[in-house]
Amino acid sequence: MKLATGTTVISNGTLFVGTDSPPIPNAAVVIKDGKIVFAGPEKNAPTIEPDAEKIDALGGTILPGLVEAHFHPTYFDVAALEDLDIKYPVEYVTLLAAANAKLALECGYTAARSGGSLFNIDVWLKKAIECGISSGPRLVASGREICGVGGLMDWNPDFRKIGMDGLVLLINGADEARAAVRKLVKDGVEWVKTYPTGDAASPDLNDHHTLCMTFEEMNAVVATAHNHGLKVTGHCRANEGIKNALRAGYDAIEHGTFMDNEALDLLLKRNVPCVPALYFEYASIEHGPKYGMPKSVIDGHKETLEAGAESARMILLAGGRLGMGGDYGFAWNPHGDYARELTFFVNYVGLNSHTVLQCATRTGAEIMGLENEIGTVEAGKLADILIVDGDVLKDISILENKSKFIAVIQGGVIKAGRLAVNKVR
């Protein structure tokens, strides 16, 4: 991604660095050629050339750009299973994905890890964003997902004779698991997304306590992926599925809903991050009835929500890591609502805003494997920065309102926010 040229100084704001250190009032951030060269109290800032660009944070908050750690760029207004794969042709879904990425950036998300995408769209979307053809978060791509035949993501009945071609690679046994990963290697993905377990969305055949892949299949996925330098994650709700994934060597866990102490020990042993994606459950319970969601599904989401919240608290309390992100793109949980996840973790799960912001920035960058480049506002890192008109640490819900964004900055370039709008004028 192209970096800015010249010097920019951000001042008159409180700096949330993204580390454990407390926020710095009256801070300044100096950016040179797209990288941060100083971040700290304004009185300690180096002398700046008079022609440097100056940004007034208006007494608000300066923080690292947010990281969406479970982003489905190709989901759009999904209200039924078919909407995930056969509603629109791939050409149109590609355009929708580009629009979703642009929106995510406008919402302050300067980076995102894909949690799976139709066909190989996220791989090419990432390329378009890196080349500057499209705007959006820095992406890490996952492409198609892997699921066992008859599992959660294998819903098209055989009589339709269309399989699940664009969305998932269906496997039976370790050999097919290896073959699926090898396809993804060729596609150019960086994370392999799998389905070790079912979900409340499928109460009859693949509910949240059902396994959708065997340990042997998961083991084959990890060995093949790691051999090619790819990372592996999985949709893990059922307790045994979480343990299978951790024992197989997964690099992250999505959801991690029904954790017990043994699963927690396995998670902590390798410090594996977990992305709970909980607001989706809440939104499903709240708005599902309007979309004809059956009671059995809503009951499953209720169970998932409470267990997921408990697991998230347990992980953080034990010193583990959580990423923030979550299945936006459903009709009742649309793209653009990403920051609701953060408010939800403060108000419903009961974490403090500093912790949640850290999960949404530094841990997100770690999950993407970009912790040396982004995720904190520190000298040496790329200038991916969000400047907000308001005290985000006091009221995290300000992040839901993009009209409060003074600037969304990627590599030192103002990409969105009020200052970007003014520039266009």
> What secondary structure does DSSP assign to 121-164, as a single string?
HHHHHHHHHHHTSS---EEE---SEEEETTSTT--S-GGG--TT
327 binds Zn ion (CB under 5 A): yes
Nearer to Zn ion by Cβ, of 78 and 413: the residue is 78
Reduced to 3 states (helix: H, G, I; strand: E, B; else coil), residue 363 is: helix
Could you tell me which stretch among 203-211, 308-316, 323-331, 341-349 binds Zn ion (CB under 5 A)?
Answer: 323-331
The Cβ of residue 391 has, within 10 Å, a number of other Cβ atoms equal to 16
CA 322 to CA 356: how far, in whole Å? 9
Amino acid at 287: H
The two structure tokens encoding residue 114: 């894909």
Please, what is the angle between helix 90-106 and helix 121-131, to 10°? 50
Nearer to Zn ion by Cβ, of 303 and 327: the residue is 327
State the nearest-atom distance from the C-beta of 280 to Zn ion, in Å. 8
State the nearest-atom distance from the C-beta of 27 to Zn ion, in Å. 36
State the nearest-atom distance from the C-beta of 25 to Zn ion, in Å. 38
State the nearest-atom distance from the C-beta of 168 to Zn ion, in Å. 12
The two structure tokens encoding residue 210: 């059902």
DSSP 8: E
Size of the site for Zn ion (CB under 5 A): 2
CA 130 to CA 195: how far, in whole Å? 29
How many secondary structure helices (H) and strands (E) does the chain include?
12, 16
Could you tell me which stretch among 57-65, 121-129, 173-181, 320-328 binds Zn ion (CB under 5 A)?
Answer: 320-328
State the nearest-atom distance from the C-beta of 153 to Zn ion, in Å. 10
Residue 231 φ/ψ, nearest 5 degrees: -100, 160
CA–chain centroid gap for 95, Å, is: 20
Could you tell me which stretch among 17-25, 138-146, 319-327, 411-419 binds Zn ion (CB under 5 A)?
Answer: 319-327
When CB distances to Zn ion are compared, the closest residue is 115
Nearer to Zn ion by Cβ, of 23 and 196: the residue is 196
Nearer to Zn ion by Cβ, of 32 and 231: the residue is 231
Could you tell me which stretch among 53-61, 260-268, 309-317, 326-334 binds Zn ion (CB under 5 A)?
Answer: 326-334
CA–chain centroid gap for 419, Å, is: 26
Nearer to Zn ion by Cβ, of 115 and 137: the residue is 115
Contact 399, 392 (CB under 8 A): yes
Provide the terminal-to-terminal Cα distance of the chain, rounded to the nearest Å. Answer: 24
State the nearest-atom distance from the C-beta of 265 to Zn ion, in Å. 26
Kindly tell me which residue out of 18, 64, 73, 115 binds Zn ion, with binding defined by CB under 5 A. Answer: 115
Nearer to Zn ion by Cβ, of 72 and 415: the residue is 72
State the nearest-atom distance from the C-beta of 59 to Zn ion, in Å. 38
Residue 286 φ/ψ, nearest 5 degrees: -70, -45
Nearer to Zn ion by Cβ, of 115 and 276: the residue is 115
166 binds Zn ion (CB under 5 A): no
Nearer to Zn ion by Cβ, of 327 and 341: the residue is 327
The two structure tokens encoding residue 37: 């060269």
**For the purposes of burial, counting CB atoms within 10 Å of the CB of 368, is it exposed (0-12), middle (13-18) or buried (19 or more)?**
buried
Could you tell me which stretch among 108-116, 122-130, 176-184, 282-290 binds Zn ion (CB under 5 A)?
Answer: 108-116
Fill in the per-residue mask, 58 to 97: x = in contact with Zn ion (CB under 5 A), - = not in contact: ----------------------------------------
Nearer to Zn ion by Cβ, of 61 and 206: the residue is 206
* Closest by CA position to 274, among listed 247, 261, 256: 256
Nearer to Zn ion by Cβ, of 121 and 416: the residue is 121
State the nearest-atom distance from the C-beta of 333 to Zn ion, in Å. 11
State the nearest-atom distance from the C-beta of 71 to Zn ion, in Å. 9
Could you tell me which stretch among 79-87, 107-115, 225-233, 244-252 binds Zn ion (CB under 5 A)?
Answer: 107-115
CA 128 to CA 134: how far, in whole Å? 5
The two structure tokens encoding residue 238: 């059922």
Reduced to 3 states (helix: H, G, I; strand: E, B; else coil), residue 35 is: strand
Contact 269, 319 (CB under 8 A): no
State the nearest-atom distance from the C-beta of 78 to Zn ion, in Å. 11
**For the purposes of burial, counting CB atoms within 10 Å of the CB of 425, is it exposed (0-12), middle (13-18) or buried (19 or more)?**
exposed
Amino acid at 110: T
Could you tell me which stretch among 111-119, 181-189, 268-276, 283-291 binds Zn ion (CB under 5 A)?
Answer: 111-119
251 binds Zn ion (CB under 5 A): no
Nearer to Zn ion by Cβ, of 65 and 325: the residue is 325
Residues near Zn ion (CB under 5 A) = 115, 327
